[in-house]
């Protein structure tokens, strides 16, 4: 299916259950082998749905989008104010998540474009060694800037690297 068959729209409160399900599946697909199977098995679509319940009610400085194919959410993205004291830009790309089966169809690019202005100075974090992750961001003008941090992810430590563009 081509990306032209995809609807990109803001995340809505009624999306919470579907967002939780897709979020959990993306984490399983993305972090398998990066964190333990036990940690991944603890990921509950219901628990993640709770995180999405009021996401759409964030202020206008938060930009978010969901990608739907045949009415079903297959990915989502968000950006907003920088959360780090030493941020290299005023805005942060929080995430671009897409189910594996929808990679390389232009959907990730469309999600990114929905939450980021063209050429906007921005930064974000991805798991070190994330398969294919850096290529997506490099195509959008980002460079790994040398910053690393250890984050607790599903009760385990995961090293993240920062990418930024000016």
Q: For residue 155, is it within any domain?
A: no
Q: For residue 106, is it within any domain?
A: yes
Q: For residue 162, is it within any domain?
A: no
* Cα–Cα distance, 137 to 25 (Å, whole number): 22
CA 27 to chain centre: 10
Q: For residue 130, is it within any domain?
A: no
- 111: tokens are 């999600």
Q: How many separate domains does the chain show?
A: 1
Q: For residue 134, is it within any domain?
A: no
- Confidence band (pLDDT; 50, 70, 90) for 4? low
Q: Kindly list the distances between the CA atom of residue 63 and the CA atoms of 76, 105, 135, 156, in Å, as whole numbers in the listed order.
A: 11, 22, 23, 29
Q: For residue 19, is it within any domain?
A: yes
Q: For residue 145, is it within any domain?
A: no
Query: Could you read off the pLDDT of 23-52 as tens digits, one per residue?
Result: 999 888 888 778 888 888 877 888 888 888
| C-alpha triplet 63, 13, 95: angle, nearest 5° | 35
Would you say residue 132 has pLDDT above 80? no
Reported as half-sphere exposure (CB side, CA atoms, 13 A), residue 37 has a value of 0
Q: What's the predicted TM-score (pTM) here?
A: 0.89
- 83: tokens are 């959360």
Which CATH number characterizes residue 27's domain?
Answer: 3.40.630.30
Q: For residue 164, is it within any domain?
A: no
Structural domain including 10 reads 3-119
pLDDT of res. 38: 81
Mean pLDDT is lowest, of 54-63, 111-120, 141-150, for: 54-63
């Amino acid at each position: 299916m081509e990306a032209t068959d995809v609807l990109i729209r803001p995340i809505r409160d009624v999306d919470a259950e579907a967002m939780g399900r897709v979020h959990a599946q993306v984490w399983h697909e993305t972090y398998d082998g990066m964190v333990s199977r036990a940690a991944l098995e603890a990921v509950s679509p219901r628990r993640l749905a709770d995180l999405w319940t009021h996401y759409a009610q964030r202020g206008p400085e938060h930009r978010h989008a969901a990608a739907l194919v045949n009415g079903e959410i297959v990915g989502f993205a968000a950006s907003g104010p920088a959360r780090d004291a030493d941020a290299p830009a005023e805005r942060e790309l929080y995430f671009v998540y897409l189910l594996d089966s929808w990679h390389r169809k232009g959907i990730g690019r469309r999600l990114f474009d929905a939450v980021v202005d063209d050429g906007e100075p921005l930064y974000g974090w991805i798991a070190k060694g994330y398969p294919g992750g850096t290529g997506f961001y490099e195509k959008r003008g980002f460079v790994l800037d040398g910053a690393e941090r250890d984050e607790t992810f599903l009760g385990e430590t995961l090293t993240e690297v920062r990418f930024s563009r000016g």
